[in-house]
């Protein structure tokens, strides 16, 4: 089930959202902590303290915070299953864009099945971090971004029909970005979207560490075994799915800084990408 902020208690949603964990610098983390006592950074990427122990650390504190916010009603659980339409509007180089995504639970598949496809390698440290958070919260905090091919624009037309209604969540932040989210609860529409995506490979654009962490957690829970129910929560991971042809999908080049290369090697042109 989807979990989101209770807007009767949290009036300014822009004060409580945060970026994914891997782009939150220590300085940004500090700013988010001061921005609101309910900023999501306390779940997504909470502070490490010098006195942390196995029993009391950033993961256990995140779990305690989640439990407290649910008890206080700061966060609320949707009563019915849903998938979520997310329109993200932003400006890049003076041009306005809108990216449309579907946020939903997606069944975990091992890489060798080629259902979910990666494009980069992963590192142990960030994977261990996300596994520890999954173990503590037993919940996904930020969706993996994956791309799919919307053949015949079937999914796009189904989503467009939802946009005429009032969104469940609507906010803008100081950067001028806008977020509108609709909960799609009609089983017929959900089934149509799911059927359109059946058999489609998903290409991870962002979130390789989160995906591999979810696979690790699934194995630990034994959810992928033949004796476990296919509908165990740990068989799924939260993703936001975006069509390859979405006009709001912008792919920018990554820049890397290489150190320790001697001048002779540079002069000889022996560096290959």
pLDDT band at 229 (very low <50, low <70, confident <90, very high): confident
Name the residue range of residue 47's domain: 1-79
- Distance in angstroms (rounded) separating the CA atoms of residues 69 and 19: 19
User: Which tokens belong to 80?
Assistant: 């019915």
Q: The domain spanning residue 226 has which CATH number?
A: 3.90.1530.10
Q: Does residue 209 share a domain with residue 177?
A: yes
Above 80 in pLDDT, residue 103? yes
Residue 218 within any structural domain of the chain: yes
Q: Does residue 23 share a domain with residue 158?
A: no
Average pLDDT, the chain: 93
Residue 189 within any structural domain of the chain: yes
Q: Does residue 104 share a domain with residue 91?
A: yes
Q: Does residue 15 share a domain with residue 129?
A: no
Residue 262 within any structural domain of the chain: no
Residue where the block lists tokens 């037309």: 157
Q: Does residue 209 share a domain with residue 181?
A: yes
Strand partners of residue 86: 101, 181
Residue 48 within any structural domain of the chain: yes
Q: How many domains does the chain fold into?
A: 2
CA atoms within 13 A on the CB side of 63: 13
Average pLDDT over residues 132-138: 97
Q: Does residue 70 share a domain with residue 153?
A: no
Above 90 in pLDDT, residue 228? no
pLDDT of 269: 67
The pTM score is 0.89
Q: Does residue 88 share a domain with residue 67?
A: no
Q: Does residue 102 share a domain with residue 75?
A: no
Q: Does residue 113 share a domain with residue 42?
A: no
User: Which tokens belong to 227?
Assistant: 């004796």
């Amino acid at each position: 089930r989807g979990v989101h902020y209770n807007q009767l208690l949290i009036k300014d949603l822009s004060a409580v959202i945060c970026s994914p964990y891997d782009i939150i610098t220590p300085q940004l983390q500090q700013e988010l902590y001061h921005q609101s006592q309910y900023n999501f950074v306390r779940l997504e990427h909470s502070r490490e303290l010098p006195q942390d122990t196995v029993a009391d650390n950033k993961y256990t504190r995140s779990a305690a915070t989640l439990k407290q916010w649910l008890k206080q009603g700061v966060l609320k659980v949707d009563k019915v299953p849903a998938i979520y339409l997310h329109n993200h509007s932003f400006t890049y180089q003076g041009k306005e864009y809108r990216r449309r995504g579907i946020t939903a639970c997606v069944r975990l598949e091992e890489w060798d099945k080629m259902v979910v496809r990666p494009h980069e390698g992963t590192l142990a440290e960030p994977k261990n971090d996300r596994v520890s958070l999954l173990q503590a919260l037993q919940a996904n905090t930020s969706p993996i971004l994956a791309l799919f091919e919307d053949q015949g624009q079937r999914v796009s037309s189904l989503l467009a029909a939802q946009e005429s209604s009032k969104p469940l969540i609507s906010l803008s932040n100081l950067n001028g970005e806008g977020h509108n989210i609709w909960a799609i609860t009609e089983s017929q529409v959900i089934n149509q979207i799911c059927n359109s995506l059946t058999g489609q490979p998903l290409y991870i654009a962002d979130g390789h560490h989160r995906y591999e962490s979810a696979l690790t957690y699934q194995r630990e829970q034994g959810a992928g075994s033949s004796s476990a129910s296919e509908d165990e929560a740990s068989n799924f991971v939260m993703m936001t799915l975006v069509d390859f042809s979405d006009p709001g999908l912008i792919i920018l080049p990554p820049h890397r800084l290489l150190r320790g290369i001697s001048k002779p090697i540079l002069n000889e042109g022996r560096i290959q990408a």
